[in-house]
């Protein structure tokens, strides 16, 4: 495997090190960058093994076919946890990198687009994980989080966790946002979690950093808006706070202690924490609590589903399943354009492709109705 770039940024001796590094520097998203790095390093190892490749423009379409064959053989190998779908993803990362090198005037054409190469990739026979919240699932989890809030108000417990969890579920269920658009992604510096400054409760709009890595307006329907407004009253946040902070107490206490270490004596910091708790200290001293991470949001959903006794084929209601569930319901009710707008797809064709299974089921029903002789 090609080693990482040296600390001073100087490429290594390998012929593809510099173009690979240039490609990786062009990618902002941390998770995507790591996936592309892994695919490109594997590709370089495979095609450079005979020593004929000295530069990226030495790579031919036949080299790309050889790599596709390598991926196919690896996917078919017993005991290797490498699926046909992963093979296609890795090849797509390499193909996209060639497109970038072409735009960067490093190569004249993209050899990875050759049909003779892509035909060598393994056949995908398994369906991807396409969980979506059904109408019944959505109703059940929304009812549960409403009941949680009622319970804490009646029992006099700390209301903040229940109000925050309810707001999370309502926003996921009704707005069509992706988890990475509202929760913090530790692997991506630009995804720090939705901030209150990006929420327009009067207009019913969330300003989110979308999949296209541009800011987009996501709808906030009335029920989600009302729960978010009530939650905001309980949280009493500063404008720059994340909408969904982590409530992990060690993390909150650590944020206060580290944030005030240069301003106050340690004893005074502890006194403040004892008097009002970490969030009160953060409000007073303009500190920002850590945002709930994508992984933390999944943990919240898992906990809520267990408490609500919701079992989705042995799983829990995943955050992205809420988005798919919203689109699925709108699409099945004949509102493809509305689904496109709610999910912020670039075109309605993207929406049709995302819900092709729904379209196929509807077509089958219409055929049955026409052919039925009863």
For the chain, what are the domain ranges?
17-118, 130-245+290-321, 249-286, 322-371
Measured from the Cβ of residue 292, the count of other Cβ atoms closer than 10 Å reads: 24
Write the CB contacts of 314 (distance below 8 Å, at least 6 apart in sequence). Answer: none
Which of 15, 4, 2, 19 has the alpha carbon at shortest distance from 51? 15
pLDDT given for residue 6 in this prediction: 36
Distance CA 254, CA 177 (A): 30
The answer to whether the CB of 96 falls within 8 A of the CB of 32 is no
3-state secondary structure of 163: helix
pLDDT given for residue 10 in this prediction: 34
Residue 5 backbone dihedrals phi, psi, to 5 degrees: -60, 145
Q: pTM of the prediction? A: 0.68
Q: What is the pLDDT of residues 177-201, one digit of tens each?
A: 999 999 999 888 889 999 999 999 9
312 forms bridges with which residues in the sheet? 315
Q: What is the pLDDT of residues 249-302, one digit of tens each?
A: 999 999 999 999 999 999 999 999 999 999 999 999 999 999 999 999 999 999
Q: Cα dihedral angle (99, 100, 105, 111), rounded to 10 degrees?
A: -30
The answer to whether the CB of 176 falls within 8 A of the CB of 342 is yes
Report residue 329 CA to chain centroid gap. 21
For the segment 102-120, the average pLDDT, to the nearest whole number, is 91
Q: Where are the alpha helices (DSSP H) in the chain?
A: 17-25, 30-47, 61-76, 84-103, 115-118, 135-155, 160-175, 179-182, 222-235, 249-260, 266-276, 278-284, 294-307, 319-332, 336-343, 348-354, 356-371
Q: Which two tokens stand for residue 261?
A: 């270490």
Tell whether the model's pLDDT for residue 2 goes beyond 70. no
Q: What's the N-to-C CA distance of the chain in angstroms?
A: 65
Looking at the chain, how many residues does it have?
A: 374
Question: Residue 328, class by beta-carbon neighbours within 10 Å (0-12 exposed, 13-18 middle, 19+ buried)?
Answer: buried
- Do the two domains 17-118 and 130-245+290-321 of this chain adopt the same fold? no
Tell whether the model's pLDDT for residue 1 goes beyond 50. no
Q: Which two tokens stand for residue 328?
A: 């699925």
Q: Which two tokens stand for residue 153?
A: 């108000």
Four-way CATH pick for 17-118: 1.10.150, 3.30.1330, 1.10.357, 1.20.5: 1.10.150
Unique residue bearing structure tokens 């450079």? 48
Which of 19, 24, 18, 16 has the alpha carbon at shortest distance from 46? 16
CA atoms within 13 A on the CB side of 135: 6
pLDDT given for residue 303 in this prediction: 94
Distance CA 303, CA 309 (A): 10
- Rg of the chain (C-alpha set): 25
Listed range (145-154, 261-270, 289-298, 314-323) with the worst mean pLDDT: 314-323
Q: Which fold has domain 130-245+290-321?
A: hpI Integrase; Chain A (1.10.443)
Tell whether the model's pLDDT for residue 81 goes beyond 80. no
């Amino acid at each position: 495997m090609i080693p990482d770039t040296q600390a001073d940024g100087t490429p290594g001796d390998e012929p593809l090190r510099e173009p690979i590094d240039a490609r990786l520097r062009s990618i902002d998203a941390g998770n995507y960058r790591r996936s592309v790095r892994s695919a490109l390093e594997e590709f370089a190892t495979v095609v450079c093994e005979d020593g004929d490749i000295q530069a990226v423009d030495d790579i031919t379409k036949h080299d790309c076919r050889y790599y596709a064959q390598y991926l196919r053989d690896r996917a078919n190998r017993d005991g290797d946890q490498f699926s046909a779908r992963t093979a296609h993803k890795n090849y797509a990362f390499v193909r996209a990198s060639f497109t970038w090198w072409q735009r960067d005037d490093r190569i004249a054409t993209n050899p990875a687009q050759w049909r003779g190469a892509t035909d060598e990739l393994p056949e995908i026979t398994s369906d991807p994980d396409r969980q979506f919240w059904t109408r019944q699932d959505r109703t059940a989890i929304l009812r549960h989080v409403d009941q949680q809030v009622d319970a804490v108000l009646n029992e006099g417990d700390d209301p903040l966790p229940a109000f925050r969890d309810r707001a999370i579920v309502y926003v996921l269920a009704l707005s069509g946002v992706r988890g990475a658009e509202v929760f913090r992604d530790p692997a991506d510096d630009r995804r720090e979690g939705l901030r209150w400054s990006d929420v327009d409760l009067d207009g019913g709009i969330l300003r989110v950093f979308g999949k296209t890595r541009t800011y987009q307006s996501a709808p906030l329907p009335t029920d989600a808006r009302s729960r978010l407004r009530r939650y905001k009253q309980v949280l009493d946040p500063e404008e720059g706070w994340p909408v969904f902070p982590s409530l992990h107490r060690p993390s909150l206490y650590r944020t206060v202690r580290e944030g005030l270490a240069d301003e106050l004596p340690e004893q005074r910091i502890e006194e403040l924490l004892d008097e009002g708790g970490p969030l009160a200290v953060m409000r007073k001293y303009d500190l920002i609590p850590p945002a709930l991470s994508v992984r933390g949001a999944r943990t919240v959903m898992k906990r809520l589903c267990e408490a609500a006794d919701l079992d989705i084929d042995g799983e829990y209601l995943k955050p992205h399943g809420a988005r798919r569930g919203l689109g699925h319901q709108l699409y099945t009710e004949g509102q493809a354009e509305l689904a496109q707008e709610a999910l912020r797809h670039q075109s309605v064709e993207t929406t049709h492709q995302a819900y092709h299974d729904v379209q196929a089921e509807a077509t089958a029903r219409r055929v049955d109705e026409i052919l039925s002789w009863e």
